[in-house]
Structure 1
Amino acid sequence: MEFVEKINIELKPWIDNRLHTTVLDLFAGCGGLSLGFEAHGFRTIAYEMDEYAAETYNRNLLGKCVQETLTVDSVYPKADIVIGGPPCQPFSVGGKQLGLQDARDGFPIFLAAVKQLEPEVVLFENVRGMLYKNKWYLHEVVNALEKFGYYIRYSLLNAVDYEVPQNRERVIVIGAKQKINLPKKANKRIAAGQALGELALQHDDSSKFLTESMDQYVAKYEKASKCVTPRDLHLNKPARTLTCRNLAGSTGDMHRIRLQDGRRRRLTVREAARLQSFPDWFEFAGNETQQFNQIGNAVAPYFAYHLARQVKKYLLGNAENSSSLRDARQLNLFAHETIYQSRTVKNI
């Protein structure tokens, strides 16, 4: 099965009626993490402050995303699993190293939700810096969760090891009332060319080509950063990490494709979405910059799919491989097909 066909099918939301659980997704963005869970049959409800990200979530997922700015006093509906990507200011460049006492930090909100709901499973992701220079803060959060009674496992995982065509390192923390493990790496890596297919060679009047001055700017950037290999998108291997900055901004580090005639153009929204493993039927709200920002901030959905599978195994044992589960999934996919049948590939 080709990569795009695979994610278009496997990442379709459905309801597994054996799962009497609800997933609460905090700081949900456009729904990349929730999509991985809904693709395994989980019911979700989410909270996100950004208007366009919340609209994107509601366009594509079965669960509802509430547009709201969360606080430690927020009250949530009952949920058995709490997930999310809390924003973390205490160890940013402008942070003051205040840890859980920093009012700008999302982790006190995440921990308050866990304390309020006492879910069976908790899971969050964050940038790689949380495991290195700022490991002290990771320990604060983990210690708080352990005091709530959770067995915690965490590690730096790369989405490229979970069938995402992009090098994207993230700290993943998972906890449960009983021992739970992080997912094992997949045996297959996906190249950017496998994800983009014919899109990589296409261009039209709307394509954004690099000008001569931009080419010169990029050359100076790569020389200054001692870049040996040009940072164009190489179709024979996974992409570099996608960020809001290198997707939406005209920077020296911007993502771009070199065409056969030597010209270089910037990625389209759909191409960026594919490199993040979003299915082609997934529609983004907002203007181009807002869509790029949603993609750059998202948890790669197929990475989330592997994380959700591990949670499901914890809840259901090894039923993931049983024929009864496959039959249940097919019935639910058929039932929800009308939601997606009108959606076609949109090369934005």
Structure 2
Amino acid sequence: MIMRHKQTTLAYANQDIYDETEPLVDDDGQVDVLELSGSHKKLKVVSLFSGCGGLDLGFLGDFSVFTGRNKKCFEKNPYEIIWANDFHLEAYQTYKNNIGEHIVYGNINGIVKNTIPQGDIIIGGFPCQDFSISGKKQGLQADRGRLYKQMVELIGIQKPLAFLAENVKHITNDKLIDQTNGRKVIDCIVDDFENLGYRVRVYLVSAASYGVPQNRERAFIVGIRDDIPFLFRLPRSHHGIMAARQAIDDLWGKENDLSIPNHNQMSLAKFPEPKRNGNQGNYRISPDSPSQVIRSEHHMNIQGHYRTHNPDDPNDRSAWRRLTVRECARLQSFPDNFVFSGNKTQSYVVVGNAVPPILGWYMARALYKALYGYI
């Protein structure tokens, strides 16, 4: 049974997902990924649209996030990233400095696919701006919206065991239509991957369900080659909901501490008053729940720290300060030793465009279990 977007599975939904049955699967259809038994054969990964490497860090594992009693550790995964690519200079530099020199700088359209080393897995978060609810929603009519075809082309050449693509939730929206054929965008994308010989399913996943202190929902398109007789199941979370206060409160008052990378980088942009058409992304995050989605835009999409306010007038926005780059990185679940390159404007963009590493870690382990029959 092919799972199309009309049957999209929410990571936090407590329901049966498939007709097929598999061993070691929870009643809600999710697989436990805490332990990986067996040979732990290391799989080679090719990463497209890598950004600063949030998804790649998740696939690699071996990182720790947050501090004190809130510290979370994620063990090493049986993957090796052998090639990566991005054309955003600051994202490329950040990836190279933190993950490795295997990343290639440049537009994927201009890279000869036969020169890319063979991978067992292909991953990537193809550009989302033209599918985002906050963007122009041009979908496949925009050049960026068609960049997923570069991933399709490489998969067609390499025929990896599996692939995993990440994008915004809105890519699954029934109203997002390809104007050239009148079909839903998600159907067009899934068909292109299926025609390469893969069983493809689309999932909506809440990052907050996996302990990321941010209400970020993303779509994952997962394909397993037709000759592999196993199914991908969403991972069961071993981390509870984490509030923003638990993730960043220890950073308060340390903005001038240069031992904390990127923490002295903060926007001085003023928070405008709400307009009749809405808040346009400007708000002060709550301390007692996961934050709103960390955004990449610098203008009219500003998140204020919950500790900054005018006690005599809580609605006085002149007293708010924007989250620092490091605070945004914490809410995205990046380790403090992951340093972002570029000025503050570019650093906000790089952080906001990233996949939360914790979410990537869970998805990576679930994919490994799928390929080896839940060993």
Q: Same fold (TM over 0.5)?
A: yes
2:90 match: secondary structure: helix
CA distance in 1, matches of 2:101, 2:365: 18
* CA shift for structure 1 position 203: 4.9
Cα deviation, 1:260-285, whole Å, max 9, x if unaligned, reads 67342111111110000000110111
**1:182: Cα distance to partner?**
2.6
* 1:265 correspondence with 2:313: no
Residue of structure 1 in register with 2:122 after alignment: 82
Counterpart in 2 of 1:24? 46
Change (3 A) 1:129 1:17: same
Higher share of residues assigned helix: 1
Q: Name the residue aligned to 1:238.
A: 290
SS at match of 1:244: coil
SS at 1:259 equivalent:
coil
In structure 2, distance between residues paired with 1:155 and 1:200: 36
* 256-265 vs 143-152, greater mean Cα deviation: 256-265
Residue 124 of structure 1 corresponds to 165
Give the Cα–Cα distance (whole angstroms) in 2 for the partners of residues 94 and 287 of structure 1. 26
Alignment partners' CA distance in 2, 1:77 and 1:301:
24
Paired residue secondary structure (2:113): coil
Distance 1:163 1:96, change over 3 A: closer
- The residue aligned with 1:66 is 104
Whether contact under 8 Å (1:162, 1:186) holds in the other structure is: yes
- Which of 56, 63, 78 is residue 94 of structure 2 equivalent to? 56
Q: 1:134 aligns with which of 170, 176, 180?
A: 176
Letter in 1 for 2:108: L
In the TM superposition, what whole-angstrom CA distance separates every residue of 1:181-226 from its partner, at most 9, and x where no partner exists?
2323555111111110321355559686878xx45x23x34x6527
Letter in 1 for 2:46: L
The one of 278, 287, 309 aligned to 1:225: 278
1:18, distance to aligned residue in structure 2 (A):
3.5
Unmatched tracts of structure 2, length 5 or more: 1-37, 62-76, 178-183, 258-263, 311-318
The reply to whether residue 276 of structure 1 matches residue 332 of structure 2 is yes
3-state SS in 1 of match to 2:109: coil
Once the two structures are aligned, what percentage of the paired residues are identical?
A: 32
1:225 aligned counterpart, secondary structure: coil
1:138-149 maps to which residues of 2 (within 5 A)?
A: 138-149=186-197
Equivalenced residues, count: 292
C-alpha deviation, 1:96, in angstroms: 5.7
SS in 2 for 1:19: coil
Within the alignment, does 1:154 sit opposite 2:202 as a pair? Answer: yes
Among 146, 152, 155, the residue aligned to 1:114:
155
Deviation at 1:148, TM superposition (A): 1.5
Whole-Å separation in 2 of the counterparts to 1:63 and 1:318: 32
Separation in structure 1 between the aligned mates of residue 39 and residue 303 of structure 2, nearest angstrom? 42
Structure 1 residue 74: deviation in Å?
2.9
1:95 deviates by 6.4
- From the superposition, tell whether residues 17 and 77 of structure 1 become closer, same or farther in structure 2 (CA, over 3 Å): farther
| Structure 1 gap ranges (5+) | 1-15, 320-348
What CA RMSD, in Å, does the superposition of the two structures yield over aligned residues? 3.0
C-alpha change, 1:283 and 1:318, in structure 2 (3 Å) is same
Task: Compare 106-115 and 138-147 and name the one that shifted more.
Answer: 138-147
Tell me how far 1:315 sits from its aligned partner.
3.2
Match for 1:198: what amino acid?
D
Distance 2:246 2:293 in 1: 17
Q: Does the residue aligned with 1:30 lie in a helix, a strand or coil?
A: coil
User: What is aligned with 2:29?
Assistant: none
Residue 256 of structure 1 contacts residue 267 of structure 1 at CA under 8 Å; is this kept in 2? yes
**SS of structure 2 residue aligned to 1:174:** strand
Q: Deviations over 1:28-83 (max 9, x none)?
A: 00000100001113111211112221111111114611112112853311001011
Secondary structure at the aligned position of 2:209 is classed as helix
TM-score normalized by structure 1?
A: 0.75
Identify the residue that residue 316 of structure 2 maps to in structure 1. none
Q: Is the 8 A contact 2:131 2:168 kept in 1?
A: no
Letter in 2 for 1:50: H
Matches of 1:98 and 1:259 in 2, distance apart? 42
Distance 1:115-1:254 versus aligned 2 partners, 3 A rule: same
1:223-271, Cα deviation, whole Å (9 max, x unpaired): 65279xx9312111100001111xx33x2x4111143673421111111
Does the alignment pair 1:287 with 2:309? no
Identify if the C-alpha distance between structure 1 residues 279 and 17 changes in structure 2 by more than 3 Å, giving closer, same or farther: farther
- Work out the CA distance in 2 between the residues paired with 1:198 and 1:61: 26
The alignment partner of 1:82 has SS state of strand
Q: Given that residues 164 and 302 in structure 1 are in contact (C-alpha distance below 8 angstroms), is that contact kept between their aligned partners in structure 2?
A: yes
